[in-house]
Structure 1
Amino acid sequence: MPTYQWRKSSYSADAGNCVNIAANSDVGIRLRESDDPAVVLDTTAASFGALIRAAKAGLLPVNGE
C-alpha cells in the first residue's frame, strides 16, 4: 500500500475535525476526514479544483440550506 503525504488545511484547528488531502498519481486527489482516516475519497484534480472555486465563490449551500 502506498504511503501518502497527507496535508491539512491551515484553517483547521489543532483539535481535530480536519479534512486531509494528498496527491495520488493514479487518480489525482485523495481526501479524508481526520476523525475517520480509513475512509478515503478519490477524485480528479479538475473536480477538486471546481469544488474549491465554488466554495471560494460562495456557491455551496451552508448548513443544508
Structure 2
Amino acid sequence: MPENEWQRSSFCGGGGNNCIETLPQNGLILMRESQDPEAIISVTPKQLAAFIQGAKAGEYDHLT
C-alpha cells in the first residue's frame, strides 16, 4: 500500500459509502468516515487496539 493512501475495510462493500478509513502517519492512526473525509481524528495504536478489543467484547453493542 502506498504511504499516503487511506485504507478501507474489506467489509466496506463495493460502493465505498459509510466506511471507516485509516492512515498511519507519524506514529498515529488517522481515521475518517468516507462520507465526511474532511473530519479526521487521530489515535495512538494503543488507543485503537483498546477500542477494537472493547468492540469485540461487546462493550459498545448498546450504541447500535
Determine the structure 2 residue equivalent to 1:62. Answer: 63
Q: Which runs of 4+ in 1 moved over 3 A?
A: none
Q: Answer whether contact 1:33 1:39 (CA < 8 A) is retained.
A: yes
Aligned-residue sequence identity (percent) comes to 30
Structure 2 gap ranges (5+): none
Partners of 1:7 and 1:39 lie apart in 2 by 16
Q: Answer whether contact 1:5 1:23 (CA < 8 A) is retained.
A: no
Structure number with the higher helix fraction is: 2
TM superposition shift of 1:14:
1.8
Give aligned pairs, total: 60
3-state SS of the aligned residue for 1:52?
helix
Partners of 2:38 and 2:21 lie apart in 1 by 12
Superposed CA RMSD? 1.5
Counterpart check, 1:24 vs 2:25: yes
Structure 1 gap ranges (5+): none
**What is the TM-score normalised by the length of structure 2?**
0.81
Counterpart check, 1:41 vs 2:54: no
**What is the TM-score normalised by the length of structure 1?**
0.80
